[in-house]
Structures are given as C-alpha cells and as structure tokens.
Structure 1
Amino acid sequence: MYGSSASKRGRFSNSAPSTPLLPDRDIMEGLRPTALQTFAIPTITGAGKDVKIIGLESIGSYNWTTASSPTIMVPGSPPEWQNRATPYQVPADTGLVFVDQNGFRMPSTVLLPIIMAVDETQDATDSPGPFDWCGERIDFVTDRNGLRKLLRWIDDAGTNPTPKDFRIDTQLAGSTVLLNRWEARTRVTSSGYTYGFNFEKASTDPALGCEDSTGHHRIVKYDLNGLKMVVRFEVDACIPTSVPPKKGGRKVGNVNDLADTLAGINLAPRSSADPISTTSHGLTVVKGGAVVPHSSILELTTRTERNAAQFDWNDAYPQLFFSQTPHHFLAVHNRGRFVAVNKRGLESSELQAVEHRMQPSLQRLCVALGLIKDIVVKHGQRGRLTLVCRGGKLEVFERTSNASCLPDELMMRFEN
C-alpha cells in the first residue's frame, strides 16, 4: 500500500475553518482572584520506583469531520503513511490550523467526544454494555496535552525562559478527576516559515472513507504507576496494515487484540432500523473508518537540517510515552525540500535511554497527580477548581461558575 506519489484519494486535512479569529482568552477568566493553594514541585528522595505504563488498552477513537455542526466519525482512521522516496519539495504552511480541535468544536464539553466515541466502540464490538466508568475506578480522564504541560512545569520551573503559562479546568465525577484542556486560542495562523502540516499532507493519504475528516483522535486506558488513566491524543498517521478478520467471540485482551477484532467488523448499519448517525448533547456521531492496530500508529515531526542534530528528546519523548505511540518519524528538510526521514521506535535503545533519564521527572509527575486528585476530591462533586501555571508557579483557583463539563446523565455514569 505504500506509494511514491501524492494522494489519489483526496486530502485528509488539519486545516481549521477560516472564520475570523477571536481575541486570546484571559487565563484568569471566570476564576476567583485568590488562589486556594500553590503546588511546590514534589521532591523525590532516593532512586524511587521507575515509572512504567502497563495494561495499555485502546477503548475508542474518532475523526472530526468537516460538517457544519460538531460531528465525529467513529472509529475513524488516521491518515496512511505513504513512504515516499526523498527528496521531495513541500510548500510552507499557510492559513489557519488547529491548536485544540476538541476545544474549538465543543468549547463547553471538551471531553464529551471521549465518552461518545468509547460508547460507540463498545457497541461495535457487541460488548455486553457500555464502558463502566465507575467500575473501572479511573483516577484521571485527560488529554495527553495536560500531562505534558504538568511535566514541563516540573522540568522547566526556575529555568530561563520559564515554562509557558497554562490552565487546566478540573471537575470530580464520582471518584474520577476530569482534566479539561483550556487554550487561550484554539486556532492559530501559520507563520509561513514552518512545513509540518504540509509535510503530513504530502506524505500521507486519507484512509478510505475519511477524506472529509480533520483529525484522528485515539483514547486509551492504562496504569501509570498505580494511577488508572484514560488519555486522549491525536494521531498523525499510521503504517498501512492488512489485518485478517477474527472469528468467534473471544475476549479482547489487549490493544492489538481489540484492533484485530474491530478490523473484521462491518461498520455499516446492521439493519434498516440501525441509525446511520446519532446526535446527543449537541454532538453527532456517524459510523465510518476502521480501527488500526496500536502498533501501527506514528508521530511525525519536522526539523531543518541545521536543527535536526540537536533534536530535544527531553521535550519530545513524553509525547510518545503518554500515548505509547510506538513509532517516531523525524523528517529533515532544507526550506521545505525534505531529504531524509529518520525512523525510531519507542522500544529502541536510544529512546529507552531517554526514558531512563526522565525517571526523576516522571516520578515527580505521579506525586503531583496524586496531590491534584487529593484537593479535587476534598472539594467534592460541587467543587470547580482550576490549575493555573504562571511564571512557573502552579496555583489552584475556584471558578465562579458551577457549570459542569459534562451533561448530568454522563456524570452519573462515574458514580456508584
């Protein structure tokens, strides 16, 4: 399935709608002025237990579509890497691109697509019931982005420049802490000096049926040193695979078993009574695409020839770690002329050395997550707390609004 030319099936796009940009939001909007607490960066004494991710399982995925109202395609599919021979020329990025597509399309309920995509995935596998958000005893539901921001706070505090300011809105659902991504702007205008988005377009083809989608998101659950996590992240591309359908009703045991099982499922309506789409809480779900094995997904990054040798793995590696993305492709260019693609695996000795080097920071992150959960649980179901990092200082504020980040009927699914 690898090709040596540009797409012949249309174009999967990360471009954002061209509606006018709004002014940047104030990081303190909707917050009470006095901080409840300031978090110190946790200290670790001794070697500590290595932070590992175990029990990785894919529980859902979706693509956003270009429909006029918020619509996701489940399970969707990532663009397919075409393995083009270098060199080839790519134009500079232009126009509007997404910073946070979920926040742009569902600003008041950024986690809603997670719940609905997981439900649809469970239905597609003929599971006995919906995903048990209460029984699974999940500690955190979050975007990968939130974990990366907290890790940067730990790594970069006291440095010059200080880490970029950020905000994360929290809410307690049962015993689960929901971490809602917050961005000052959900779209930005390309500078005209980068090539990453157009490199993706030139180097991948949209999966069949996904030509009108604008971003593939995957949802996984895993154990992070005793913390049970549900994490959403965007997938740049996948290596095309051909997976034979599985017969019988065996239990899905891991992420690749689930992908193999779903690969044999016809996602078209099973009878004339089955709906092609459903709409709930302002979000429409349509069926389409196909689940790909987790082992095939990859992260694409671009650097100039001058900067490629100094690639910052301390910043880039957490992107792979928190999603357990197994492949990293670093594309090297000179003013958009791509001359090489350096391919590395998550389990390679080089990246395992990076993980070993990052263990103290990962250990501090796990402690910090525990402290965050403690204060959110302390303030209970009616608490509306927000984490704000400014100038490297992480503080907790109360929100002035009691609005919930998910509809009440979905919040109840986290309760006993």
Structure 2
Amino acid sequence: MASFSWLKDEKPTVVVPGMPPQWAPLDEPRKLEEDSGTYYRDINAAHYPLHPLEPAVRAVLAQSPDLALDEIDVFACGSTMGNLLRFAQKSDKPFQLVVETIGETVFLIRRENTLDEKMQGVVGYGHSFPQTYTKLDKSVKNAETHQRMINYDFAGFTCIVRYEADGFLPQDAGREVPKQGVQALPELDRLKLIPGGQAVPQESILEIKTRSSRKQLTLEQVLDGEIGRLWMRQVPNFVLAYHTNGVFNDVQVHDVRQQLDDWEKSHQEDVKLVSATLAKIVSLARQDPGRRFEACYSVPGVLEIRHVGGEFPRALPDDLVRIWASGALSDHSDEESDNAVGSDAEAGGELESDEEEEEDFTACSEACGYCGRCKYR
C-alpha cells in the first residue's frame, strides 16, 4: 500500500516510497564478521522520538491521497499486532502498548522501556548476513531500514499495519514509481521527506533468518517460532541461511504462502482470541476518543487496561491530527498540509493517573458484549 526508507543523516530523513534491499546472494560464500554495533528495539522511535508514527502516516498520505481515512479502523505495527498474538498464546514475554484515537481510527503504538532502548547481548549473524547478501538501490544507498504499510481486513476491521522489510526478490521488482505516484511532500522543520525509490509488490517481500548448521534445525522447526510474525505481516518469502563458523554454505529461499494458510487454519482459537481482544480495545477507545490508555501484559492470560504512565509522545502532530480527523486528505489545502509540526510536537507526552478499575477481557466476544469480566482458561 505504502512504504518509506530511513536514511542515515544528521536530520531525520525518509525517502518515499523508498525501496527495500534487493536479494543478492554471493557467488562464493566467505566468512562473515559477527554482529557488532548498536541495534534499537524500535528503530522508528529511535530515529524520530517526537512522533514515531508520523513518517508512516505521511508516507500513506503521499502515496494514497484518495484514501478514505474515516474508513480505517486500526493503524498499528507488526510489533503491536504481534503482541496481541502473544497475549492470545499466553506467551511469557511481557509488553505494553499505547492506544490513541484520532477521528475514526484507533492507533496502537509500540512502547518499550525507553524510546531509544537498545537490544543487549546481540550475537550471531542476524544483521551481518542480510547486509552482505542484499544490496541497496542508489536511491536509498544510505538507508538503515525499509518500512512498509499494508492494508488488510482483520476481524471486520480495516487495518493499516507498518513493519520492517528485510528485502525483496528481484524477479518481482515492480516498476519505478512515476512522479505523479507520490504527492507533493511537505517541508517540515524536524523531519525531511524526499521522493525516491520504486514500488515493490508485497509478493516479492522476504524475511531473513540465520541459524547454525550444528543445531540441524529444519525449516518447519524454524518456522514454528516465526510463522505467526510472517502471518501478521503477510510476508510470503522466507530465507533460511545455515552457517558454520560464519560461512554460509547452505542458503535456502522458500515460498511460505502455503505454510501461512496452514497456520491460520490450525490456529483458529488464537486468531479468534486476537480478534476478540482487538475488538475490545477498539470498543474501549471509541467509548472515550479523547482518552489515551495502555494495554499492559505481564501475567499470562491477563491484559490490563491502564492510564498512560510517565511521558509518552502523542501519535501525530497537530497538522496530521486535523487531516486524519477530517476523514480525507482532500479536505485540506496544500498550504495547510505543508505546515510544520504543530504545538503538540513540543509538548511531549502527558502525565496521566491510574485510577480506574482494570479489566481482563481475555475471552470477550460479541456474546458477552465485550464486558471485560471473564477470564480465559
């Protein structure tokens, strides 16, 4: 639907639509260096803590100017949607996400311990292998990450989901986006937007995972821990690369569309619980659109609803709030759309108390009216 690439620059800079790295395996394998450097848990928040969702929203508006914004029910990311799946599966990994309503859309916003939280103890070749076995187009030669926004229906809700793409297969490269394919990008004080790159179809997008050949894990065993993520992101291609001391002699490219279909059919209970949970969150958000709240998960089977604690940025700056709340980009003049980030950009997050009764809506459905008073066993 839409995409953008983050560039390495002194000022936060994105290229729209950008371009993911192209799969380009080596002719002869060679020993790679292990991962080293700084890796962020949420690269969007680390690059642009002011409003981490802003680049994604501006990319959507630039590439889909006729989009009916009031028909978008949920704007989320692969992480927040994945969190709901982990909750449904009673994972032992805690999470929290912030829920904010703008117009008719409920935004699910990732929240880590800090906006620039770094991953600790990174080992292996999960970063060095993709960097070596893919190449960047000259239009995004300094890109650090490529972000895609896909649009699909889930549980009766129209969703836009942003996620990071590892790369694409060149045989489905698509075509270069004509100049009229991207609307005029606004000039902003804090965020630089550059037109460039080319459209890449979803069918060509791939995910990359590396494993040691000593563990002798099969494709099915590796996919068992990854297929839920791929399903939420609708990524159809999976690269599995096995190494021996950093030399990748076994690199496999798999079309996993059948596995995605099989997983969905065999995990209907999980899918239904994610659907019920999303429906409850949307229902709560629309009951009081001016209120932000957190969905917090720390005890398996229990999802707590709280006021937003501490400081956390608003989803969007003032100018985008006005556009999105109006329901259509066409309702705003070019001059208004080109305004720089509004007053809420400087305000930061607001402090909110935790006073209301917490609810557990683990097994809610239409039958109970999403009452939030039952527990899933």
TM class by shorter-chain length?
Answer: 0.7 to 0.9
The reply to whether residue 207 of structure 1 matches residue 115 of structure 2 is no
SS at match of 1:188: coil
Alpha-carbon shift at residue 391 of structure 1 (Å): 3.1
CA deviations on 1:137-175 (whole Å, 9 max, x unpaired) are 111100011111111111135xxxxx2111101111122
Do the aligned residues in 2 keep the contact of 1:142 with 1:231 (CA within 8 Å)? yes
For residues 157-172 of structure 1, the aligned pairs below 5 Å read: 157=91, 163-172=92-101
User: Who is 2:5 aligned against?
Assistant: 63
Which of the pair is proportionally richer in helix? 2
Match of 1:133 among 60, 69, 75: 69
Classify the secondary structure of the residue corresponding to 1:217: strand
Shift of residue 312, structure 1, vs aligned partner: 4.2
Q: Secondary structure at the residue paired with 1:96?
A: coil
1:1-400 to 2 correspondences below 5 Å: 58=1, 60-85=2-27, 87-122=29-64, 129-134=65-70, 137-157=71-91, 163-185=92-114, 186-188=116-118, 191=121, 193-241=123-171, 260=175, 263-266=176-179, 278-280=186-188, 282-305=190-213, 306=215, 308-309=217-218, 311-348=221-258, 350-378=259-287, 380-392=288-300, 393-399=302-308
The residue that corresponds to 1:8 in the other structure is none
Q: Is the CA contact (8 Å cut-off) linking 2:12 and 2:192 kept in structure 1?
A: yes
69-78 or 82-91: which moved more? 82-91
Q: For residues 118 and 178 of structure 1, what CA distance do their matches in structure 2 show?
A: 14
Q: Closer, same or farther in 2 for the Cα pair 1:407/1:206, shift >3 Å? A: same
Q: Deviations over 1:30-65 (max 9, x none)?
A: xxxxxxxxxxxxxxxxxxxxxxxxxxxx1x110001
Distance 1:315 1:366 in 2: 21
Q: How far, CA to CA, are the matches of 1:325 and 1:147 in structure 2? A: 14
Matched residue type, 2:79: N
**Which has the higher relative contact order, 1 or 2, with Cα contacts under 8 A spaced 6 or more apart?**
1
Q: What is the deviation of 1:360? A: 1.6
Deviations 1:253-283 (A, max 9, x none): xxxxxx65xx3514899xxxx97x7433732
Is contact 2:17-2:197 (8 Å) kept? yes
8 Å Cα contact 1:94/1:189 also seen in 2: no
Pairwise CA distance, 1:415 = 4.1
The residue that corresponds to 1:405 in the other structure is: 315
**Structure 2: distance between partners of 1:307 and 1:242:** 31
State the one-letter code of the partner of 2:67: F
In the TM superposition, what is the alpha-carbon distance from 1:190 to its structure 2 partner? Answer: 6.1
How far apart are the structure 2 equivalents of 1:339 and 1:110?
39
CA contact (8 A) 2:231 2:260 kept: no
Q: AA paired with 1:98?
A: Y
For residue 289 of structure 1, report the CA deviation from its aligned partner. Answer: 1.1
Q: List alignment gaps of at least 5 residues for structure 1.
A: 1-57, 123-128, 158-162, 244-258
TM-score between both structures, scaled by the size of structure 2: 0.78
Amino acid at match of 1:105: H
Q: Deviations over 1:392-415 (max 9, x none)?
A: 332011125796321233223234
Q: How large is the Cα RMSD of the aligned pairs?
A: 2.5
| Aligned residues between the structures | 321
Higher mean alpha-carbon deviation, 291-300 vs 277-286, is at 277-286
How much identity, in percent, do the aligned residues show?
25
